[in-house]
Structure 1
């Protein structure tokens, strides 16, 4: 593990806890944790940052998934099928991620952050409204969810990762017409699979900082379980302002480091 200042470790622990909370409520905890790791470990190769992020995220996501499964009504069979496709896709994405440099990764993350920020601004009801009625979920829609939601988003998660939980919630709501709470709970099960597939590949390639990941995972787990409980109790509309503020702040910081710093 690289020599990391104590202040940086404390800030990364706080970022991990906040990321776990955000990820459990509306998805997208990686939008906070991955940029935080890039900023805190500027000399670390991007592949090691990505691998460490996955090792942390899978713990928090698993805790949130268990918390949801105990209370929310989740279509487990469908979630597992999508999850298996996502696992395969994430392993493929992680395989290609090994050759990505931080200089390439930062602009991509900024674009994803801005896209999510625009969506949050343009859809103020996201995360707070109940499900809308839609056409019945056919076999074709289920297959579409498995291939596109599982395989496609899984590949993205292995390759880059930030925003995967949010993208899963949106896709599951659009394709399978799940309400947002059920979509969020289902997304956690799928996200465990994508994180697991990507982590397996990163571990095989030796690009995980295990000691740092173990420490951050404790905070990520606590944040994830707290966020899941809050989502089940209140719904996720209350986190929109926090998520938007975090996203815009990170975009500004990454842009400064990329082109000014």
Structure 2
């Protein structure tokens, strides 16, 4: 069958849909769904890396928007942090997407791997972190730190993407002092903004494969809705366990990429 000008077998399309559903679920709980969705897209014959990145954003923004809305209704996170953070993240993601075709992925992988290992060790070594919200700062300093985190992680999402939600969650937990559940809820709002910022730039470049992205987006929405409801029902302890598992998987994948 032909979708977005690509010849896809039924098996390949089924793999993409399954990866999109799983990515939506993981993204809704802790982020990191790009670990599943982007590599699946890169396996499609004839697709370029930039097309895969852009199409991943089409599907991702649909699922992230649904999980953000679900979290907002059920957890009602404060927007004083997520709103401004989302704005700088959107701008950062647009800038990162503009550079995505020019900078080699290998430049970032070692740095990302070190960051993920640090995150994993920190989370495992401090089991009390993230159980409840205990903000480290308030007022202007809190806002400035949130804006900086949004901008930096936004640039990363536009450039590469996988693990963005996980970086957002651990930043909100370890740097700002949110509990895992509220951090996950706020991360979805910011992540939706990073996806939008990157997608705007990719669209101007003509990179997204819209038909394929929308097909995967439907599956991503289903996974996101399921994951968000499960995270809210089970609370911060469940989110923390899934977070550690996803970060561990990201570490394994990046290590394999570097050694390969």
Specify the TM-score bucket, using the shorter chain as the normaliser.
Answer: 0.7 to 0.9
Aligned length: 252
2:94 to 69, 91, 95: 91
1:55 to 50, 53, 58: 58
CA–CA distance in structure 1, aligned partners of residues 128 and 57 of structure 2: 24
Deviation at 1:249, TM superposition (A): 6.4
Contact 1:28–1:163 (8 Å) recurs in 2: yes
Match of 2:142 in 1: 141
Match of 1:123 in 2: 123
TM-score in terms of structure 2 length: 0.85
Contact 1:137–1:176 (8 Å) recurs in 2: no
Residue ranges of structure 2 left out of the alignment (5+ in a row): none
Match of 1:9 in 2: 13
Aligned counterparts, 1:1-261, within 5 A: 1-38=5-42, 40-41=43-44, 43-100=46-103, 104-105=104-105, 108=108, 112=112, 115-116=115-116, 119-120=119-120, 123-124=123-124, 129-131=130-132, 133-146=134-147, 148-235=148-235, 236-240=239-243, 243=246, 246-247=249-250, 250-251=253-254, 254=257, 259=260
Contact 2:29–2:184 (8 Å) recurs in 1: yes
TM-score in terms of structure 1 length: 0.85
CA–CA distance in structure 2, aligned partners of residues 112 and 31 of structure 1: 13
Residues 82-141 of structure 1: per-residue CA shift (max 9 Å, x gap) = 1111111111111111235xxx43785587467536643663367995126354423122
Pick closer, same or farther for the CA change 1:110–1:229 going to 2, 3 Å.
farther
Tell me which moved more, 111-120 or 226-235. 111-120
Deviation at 1:165, TM superposition (A): 0.6
Tell me which moved more, 134-143 or 118-127. 118-127
Residues 28-84 of structure 1: per-residue CA shift (max 9 Å, x gap) = 11122112222x225422111110011110000000000001011311132111111
Residue ranges of structure 1 left out of the alignment (5+ in a row): none
Contact 1:22–1:227 (8 Å) recurs in 2: yes
Pick closer, same or farther for the CA change 1:99–1:3 going to 2, 3 Å.
farther
Deviation at 1:238, TM superposition (A): 4.4
Contact 1:58–1:192 (8 Å) recurs in 2: yes
SS at match of 1:123: helix
SS at match of 1:161: coil
Contact 2:96–2:155 (8 Å) recurs in 1: yes
CA–CA distance in structure 2, aligned partners of residues 122 and 175 of structure 1: 12
CA–CA distance in structure 1, aligned partners of residues 141 and 173 of structure 2: 16
User: What is the Cα-based RMSD across aligned positions, in Å?
Assistant: 2.6
